[in-house]
Amino acid sequence: MDPVIAPTLVERAAEHLRKNVRRTTLGFANGGSPQQSVVSTARVHGSPFSPPTPKAMPGGMAPQRPTSRSIVLDYSRLQAAHVNDWSGPRTQVSEELRVIKRQLLRQAFPLPGVIRGDDANLIMTTSARPGEGKTFAALNLAFGIATEPNRHVLLVDADTSRQGVGDVIGLRDQCGLLDVLSGKEPDLSRVILRTDIPNFALLPAGMARDDAAELLASPRMTALLREMSLRYSDRIVLIDAPPCLVSSDPMALAGSVGQVVFIIEAARTQRDEIEFALEMVKDCPNISLILNKVQVTDNASLGAYGPYYGFLP
């Protein structure tokens, strides 16, 4: 840092990273390559997802009987996307994921006597540039929160152009968020999809529209987020938004959510890009940063479960 320049938001965040860092050792699937890791103030992600047997769901949960608005998740797709296997053994990565979700949940559901922030259970993931891991973060956090006792999670695909969540789950170009915002589908409950994992539901992005940006910035979107937030007192609404430098949507949504999880790819994303992107989401009162894809040593890792080999998209 230049000593004559006052610390910027990014520099203060970097200092917070240095003081509060958590590290996890990661390599590549099938072993044989140098270890790679994630460093975070609050959050980290990545590990393969092992498809459960018909009676074994993530976190040991029993399967839910399908309904007309239910889907059965394709666990081979989740495995290919390297979603963390919450029903598997404890690993360095899963432990750091737990650190991440605990801090999110602590903000959303504080202890008695602690004042809860407005809309703290509305959490948006974003980044400065594409490919930094925001959708990966959203998926892993959603599955992790769904394993918590007495907690529900609704994962919203608000990246309406790319539909990353829809691609992983296999729900691209189905009725969803945009259809409700446009009035084409007036009933939100008809487009929210229950899954065979209890406490875990999905809201697809919806059918592509030219006016998607305006719909996401509309008062209807603010009211819809509020409705989703208040419908269940134990629900986390996790919103996967586009990257800030390719879309104005995160700026439009930032004032309506209580937490932003901002992903930064180490050795790739430039300081001026981060500064500009953080400025776009500054209306959110609580912004947490993840420094993703950082090379670390074994002795800097979290936990004592031995090396874990996964892949960070």
Of 257, 57, 237, nearest to 152 by C-alpha is 237
Name the least confident of 118-127, 251-260, 303-312: 303-312
Instruction: Write the pLDDT tens digit of every residue in 79-96.
Output: 888 888 888 888 877 887
pTM of the shown model: 0.77
| Residues pairing with 38 in the sheet | 24
Parallel, antiparallel, or unpaired: how do β-strands 200-203 and 193-195 relate?
antiparallel
* Residue given tokens 């901002």 in the structure block: 262
Looking at residue 107, its amino acid is Q
Residue 21: count other Cβ atoms within 10 Å of its Cβ.
15
Confidence band for 253, pLDDT divided at 50, 70 and 90: very high
CA distances from 129 to 15, 69, 226, 260 (A): 22, 34, 28, 15
Q: What is the pLDDT of residue 39?
A: 36
Q: What is the pLDDT of residue 56?
A: 45
Name the least confident of 27-36, 138-147, 155-164, 195-204: 27-36
Q: Return the HEC string of the chain.
A: CCCCCCCCHHHHHHHHHHHHCEEEEEECCCCCCCCEEEEECCCCCCCCCCCCCCCCCHHHCCCCCCCCCEECCCHHHHHHCCCCCCCCCCCHHHHHHHHHHHHHHHHHCCCCCCCCCCCCCEEEEEECCCCCCHHHHHHHHHHHHHCCCCCEEEEEECCCCCCHHHHHHCCCCCCCHHHHHHCCCCCHHHCCEEECCCCEEEECCCCCCCCHHHHHCCHHHHHHHHHHHHHCCCEEEEEECCCCCCCCHHHHHHCCCCEEEEEEECCCCCHHHHHHHHHHCCCCCCEEEEEEEECCCHHHCCCCCCCEECCCC
Take residue 287 and report the two structure tokens written for it. 């912004």
Phi, psi angle pair for 118, to nearest 5°: -60, 130
Q: What is the pLDDT of residue 231?
A: 85
Check pLDDT > 90 for residue 123: yes
Give the torsion sign (CA, 264, 267, 271, 276): negative
Take residue 33 and report the two structure tokens written for it. 């390559």
Domain positions in the chain are: 9-309
What whole-number distance in Å separates Cα of residue 311 and Cα of residue 269? 19
CATH number of the structural domain 9-309: 3.40.50.300
Contact 214, 167 (CB under 8 A): no
Name the least confident of 22-26, 51-55, 179-183, 279-283: 22-26
Contact 286, 13 (CB under 8 A): no
Check pLDDT > 50 for residue 202: yes
Instruction: Write the pLDDT tens digit of every residue in 206-247.
Output: 999 999 999 999 999 999 999 998 888 789 999 999 999 999
What mean pLDDT is predicted for residues 281-290? Answer: 93
Contact 23, 292 (CB under 8 A): no
Parallel, antiparallel, or unpaired: how do β-strands 122-127 and 235-240 relate?
parallel
Q: What is the pLDDT of residue 232?
A: 81
